[in-house]
Amino acid sequence: MEALKMRILAKISIGILCFYNIGQAQMGSPGNGETQAIALHPNDPMIMYAGAAKGLCKTVKGGKDDWPTFGLDTYSPRAVVVSQTNPDLLYAGTHEVGIYRSKDGARTWEEVNNGISYPEIRTMVIHPKNDQVVYAGTDGGGVFKTQDGGLSWAEMNHGLFDKVIRTMVMDPRSPDTLYAGTWHGVYKTSDGGENWSADPEGLYDVDVRTLSLDPTNSNIIYAGTQPRGVFRSEDAGQTWTAGARPLMENIESMAVDPANPTHVYVGTRAGVFISTDKADTFKSAGLRWSNMAWTLVFDPKTNPSTLYYGGVGGVLKTTTQGYQWEVTGPIRQ
């Protein structure tokens, strides 16, 4: 716990983070706390994972069960990735104790931190075709990469001058290309993390909280920032433009609708917003009460695509562009 205290003091002392979150006991939501991460099974829409205050929770009924905890009970998984080729293989990045791996659909876990020198994991991405390749972004130690399924990790920080990694995305068509959103702008690598660069003329010196790629066009990238709204790049990150009417809310998460990629959703501390014009303008998509949207994830397997929200309300979902949200846990009578 001492490490935890020191970490919080460090956060306060360098003035990086504000703490605007709220919380409430969630009887039907995963893990009795705020949901910080959601990961979907690549084939089965009934299976989902949630990183919660009380460990890694899993549903096999599309959320209509109690989301029982599947290990990591006293940790807070803040990033969870599932292999696209072997869905029983998962990696979970935790708040304070690094990375855990499960090879059996979260039934058992093993610590895989060899080479991780900064165990506060914030974000993870997994190679879509080679699940032995995983990247982990940390809250202050930059990026780590494994190429052997977590048995060893290497620091991949060359050119990365800001090591506070908020978010990462991988170009699925070119998996050596990754973007990292940091406290001070967007960094890009085209060689699997060997070298990172940030264009001083690009999106620089702004706190980038979330990044999303257009699933149909890898050149189109969206960056959600604090406090300057959402930026769009249509040339793979070389140049960025702000929307016509920037969304001046504290943005935390973002997702692009795979079925309609001009539709961009952002999760803020004032609810969820939708843009139907590639982030030029936004309007409310509900959950205006929610003071924290840790993550937004689309499930392209469903029709229409289901947008999942992870945050203070646990795991919620909408198929109506936010007009109506549903809970994913059972109703208590």
Interface residue list for another protein (CB under 8 A):
1, 4-5, 8, 12, 18-29, 32-36, 52-54, 73-76, 78, 94-97, 271, 283-291, 294, 312-314, 316, 322-327, 329-333
Q: Which is nearer to another protein, 82 or 274 (CB)?
A: 274
Q: Closest separation between CB of residue 52 and another protein, Å?
A: 7
Q: Closest separation between CB of residue 283 and another protein, Å?
A: 8
d(CA 52, CA 57): 7
Which residues are within 8 A (CB) of 296 and not within 5 positions of it... i.e. 6 or more apart? 253, 254, 255, 265, 266, 267, 272, 307, 308, 309, 310
What letter would DSSP give residue 332? P
- The answer to whether the peptide bond before residue 304 is cis (omega within 30 degrees of 0) is yes
Q: Closest separation between CB of residue 111 and another protein, Å?
A: 12
C-alpha distance across the termini of the chain, in Å: 38
Q: Which is nearer to another protein, 43 or 333 (CB)?
A: 333
Q: Which is nearer to another protein, 164 or 186 (CB)?
A: 164
Residue that has been written with the tokens 């959320």 in this structure: 63
Q: Closest separation between CB of residue 328 and another protein, Å?
A: 10
The burial class, CB within 10 Å (0-12 / 13-18 / 19+), for 184 is middle
Q: Which is nearer to another protein, 18 or 259 (CB)?
A: 18
Q: Closest separation between CB of residue 187 and another protein, Å?
A: 24
3-class state of residue 86 by DSSP = coil
Q: Closest separation between CB of residue 102 and another protein, Å?
A: 17
Q: Which is nearer to another protein, 78 or 101 (CB)?
A: 78
Q: Which is nearer to another protein, 171 or 249 (CB)?
A: 249
Other beta carbons less than 10 A from residue 6's beta carbon? 10
d(CA 296, CA 311): 9
CA within 13 Å, CB half, 130: 16
Q: Which is nearer to another protein, 95 or 163 (CB)?
A: 95
Q: Tell me the two tokens of residue 310.
A: 């992870």
Q: Closest separation between CB of residue 144 and another protein, Å?
A: 18
Which amino acid is present at 92? Answer: A
Q: Closest separation between CB of residue 92 and another protein, Å?
A: 12
Q: Which is nearer to another protein, 81 or 203 (CB)?
A: 81
What letter would DSSP give residue 96? S
DSSP string covering 127-184: -SS-TT-EEEEESSS-EEEESSTTS--EE--TT-----EEEEEE-TTSTT-EEEEETT
Q: Closest separation between CB of residue 297 and another protein, Å?
A: 17
Phi and psi torsions of 90, nearest 5°: -130, 155
Q: Which is nearer to another protein, 48 or 72 (CB)?
A: 72
Closest by CA position to 124, among listed 164, 78, 88, 162? 78
